[in-house]
Amino acid sequence: MAGLTDPFLSPALGAALEQWLSHLQALEGAAANTVEAYRRDVARYLKFLSTHRGGAEGLAAVARTSQSDLRAWMAAERDRKLSARSLARALSAVKSFTAWAADRTGADATTVLSARGPKHRRKLPRPLSEDGAAAILDEIGADAREDWIAARDTAIATLLYGLGLRISEALSLTGADHPLPETLRITGKGGKSRPVPVIPAAAHAVSEYVTLCPHDLQPHEALFRGARGGPVNPRLIQSAMERARLRLGLPATATPHALRHSFATHLLSAGGDLRAIQELLGHASLSTTQGYTAVDAARLMEVYEKAHPRA
């Protein structure tokens, strides 16, 4: 972990990095995974500057990084085979840290803040077909060693596809959420809360699981449990999904997150309003949800090209 004891950073700069990360988490509501990714990106950047310039520097000097230093860092990242997408994310983290540093030191950070990241093709979500999604719900618990575990995996998959939840959101439900109400209040990324209507199939699947579950589901504890009674590990659901898609002959893109994408894409295909779907998914930006329109366009083009092959 980069931070106060990192030998490549001065104590002051290490402390600044930790303060910025705390700021991200406490005041901007950044998710834990985002914070850790930014920690790695910025620590690597600061280590590069220290080596490139021949010694650790203070916060103001980092904020005033020159264009040539920034280009050298980006070239070094490319040399270690960092993808354009990952480099763009790293630059975003560096900009955020630099803006924070400039605000505290009064340094001119224009060079860093105006830097443009590498162009990269946006990765489109890969939803399942309606038949494929239905097959996963039927199959995901087929090889579970106990009936209650099969019911658990089915219930979680139904929440992902039927309500459009992230797997982390489904696994954050507690005993107090059962029986599922007509509308669930879900807390998603960045601590943002949204109402999500509950379809009968999801309420029924969760009830089936609760009826069979051998563990005492206290209101303040996790609703979905592992075999030993602790909160279920998301990897278990990913593994169950992987085994199900192999049995069904579905592609490797048939992941738990693909069920959430399928929820949105199928709603959109049925005439759902894009902004309403954005709210259901908890996307901060409409442009994120608009990726699903591109998916539909891509699928239509595939059908067209198969029906009208080029000579």
Would you say residue 150 has pLDDT above 80? Answer: yes
Q: What is the DSSP letter of 63?
A: H
Who wins on pLDDT, 48 or 25? 48
| CB contact at 8 A, 53 and 213 | no
**pLDDT at res. 52:** 84
| Identity of the highest mean pLDDT range in 9-13, 112-116, 174-178, 299-303 | 174-178
**pLDDT at res. 138:** 95
CB 213: neighbour CB atoms within 10 A?
A: 19
Would you say residue 3 has pLDDT above 50? Answer: no
**pLDDT at res. 303:** 47
What's the rounded mean pLDDT across residues 41-46? 90
- The backbone torsions φ and ψ at residue 121, rounded to the nearest 5 degrees and listed phi first, read -75, 130
Tokens of 303: 């059908």
**pLDDT at res. 307:** 54
pLDDT bucket at 5, cuts 50 / 70 / 90: very low
Would you say residue 49 has pLDDT above 50? Answer: yes
What's the rounded mean pLDDT across residues 33-61? 83
| CB contact at 8 A, 254 and 132 | yes
**pLDDT at res. 24:** 79
What's the rounded mean pLDDT across residues 273-289? 66
Would you say residue 285 has pLDDT above 70? Answer: no
| CB contact at 8 A, 267 and 296 | no
**pLDDT at res. 201:** 95
pLDDT bucket at 251, cuts 50 / 70 / 90: confident
Cis peptide before 256 (omega within 30 of 0): no
What percentage of the chain reaches a pLDDT higher than 70?
Answer: 81
**pLDDT at res. 23:** 83
pLDDT bucket at 115, cuts 50 / 70 / 90: confident
Tokens of 7: 């030998």
What's the rounded mean pLDDT across residues 182-210? 89
Q: What is the DSSP string of 250-300?
A: --TT--HHHHHHHHHHHHHHTT--HHHHHHHHT-SSHHHHHHHHHHHHHHH
Name the amino acid, one letter, at 200.
P
What's the rounded mean pLDDT across residues 199-225? 96
pLDDT in tens, 236-249: 999 999 999 999 99
Q: How far is residue 132's CA from residue 142's CA, in Å, rounded to a whole number?
A: 15
**What 3-state DSSP class applies to 225?**
strand
| Residue positions annotated with a catalytic role | 166, 189, 257, 260, 283, 292
Domains of the chain: 11-113 (1.10.150.130), 130-261 (1.10.443.10)
Who wins on pLDDT, 241 or 310? 241
- The backbone torsions φ and ψ at residue 140, rounded to the nearest 5 degrees and listed phi first, read -60, -30
Tokens of 88: 């763009």
Q: How far is residue 68's CA from residue 43's CA, in Å, rounded to a whole number?
A: 19
Mean pLDDT for all residues in the chain: 83
**pLDDT at res. 148:** 97
**pLDDT at res. 202:** 95
**pLDDT at res. 124:** 57
**pLDDT at res. 311:** 43
Would you say residue 304 has pLDDT above 70? Answer: no
**pLDDT at res. 15:** 87
Beta strands in the chain (DSSP E): 183-187, 193-197
**pLDDT at res. 288:** 57
Name the amino acid, one letter, at 45.
Y
